[in-house]
Amino acid sequence: MDRSFGDMAGLAGAGVSGRGRSYFLHDLLRKVIFAEAGWVSQDARAVRRERALRYGVFALVLIAGGALAALWGTSFYRNYKLVRDAEAEMNRYRAEARLELEATEIADPDLGPVLPLLRTLATLPLGHAAQDIGGGLLEGAGLSQRSAIRAATRAAYRDGLERHLRPRLILHVETRIAEDITNNDLLSLYESLKVYKLLGHAAPAPDDAFITAWFADEWARDPAYRGAGPMRELRAEMEAHLWAMLEMSATQSRARVDLNGALVERAERILSLMNLEDQAWLLVMGAGGPQDIAPFNLRAPRRRMSRASCSGSVRRS
């Protein structure tokens, strides 16, 4: 019995040996899996769809990359051309205005020599007179320089107005004030003094419409600018420059040109000596009179003093 059970134990041990399991896996791989691998067929349509999808994705990536590169290239070229054109115009202005830019004093109020310079500055690319319709997508794409160029050209125009236009306007008004004092023209003196202080930012409040109307009347009566046709167009251009200067300097606390303090004091003293009749006449003719220009005191003096009247005579009170 021991021998029989021993043989059975040996058979049982042989059935679970590792050598048998390895042989089974070896035959499974060699005779079944590898041998029958070619029996499986592929779906040709599925393969074509997969290939077309893969190639389509690659093509879209290439097209998108090419389009983006072309967009950036076009945007770069357009912005480069815009910057180059603006620099060329600025260089042309500097060449034309060399003598004016080097001058330290202005003795002639004539605007004729500086109007071409102001015209050049106003018509700079993206400048004050240019209509900015936008560059569109082909000029944008993250490379647009329009805002920077617009700010630079308008700043150049503003500086040109302050350098070329305002000093000549102030000089013109100074001449007018001196003439009004000589002629004892109190209404004209009041208006001239008001414009003078407004231009020098020395008035209590701005009044751009009054300044523009005053100069429009001056230019219309000036032999150098009066007349119709081309002269009217020239006056309109001068008024446009004046309006631009007033608008662009609205935030400035003071002008770049100092006023003649002695002349202002003299004119104010003459106006403050007017009697009540002359003040009333100014109120009617001047639509407001000089009471809106500090530091005038328009009350009639109580002490006896000499005062110039509108007719040029001297009255005693």
- Digit-coded pLDDT (tens) for 126-148: 888 776 666 565 556 666 777 88
Phi, psi for residue 314 in degrees, rounded to 5: -110, 125
**Please, what is the average pLDDT of the chain?**
77
Using the predicted structure, report yes or no on whether residue 166 has a pLDDT greater than 90: yes
Q: Any alpha helices (H) in 162-294, and if so which ranges? A: 166-183, 186-199, 208-221, 230-248, 261-272, 276-285
The closest of 131, 121, 115 to 152, measured between CA atoms, is: 121
- pLDDT computed for residue 24 by the predictor: 64
Which helix (H) or strand (E) element contains residue 84?
helix 44-96
* pLDDT band, very low/low/confident/very high, at 167 (cuts 50, 70, 90): very high
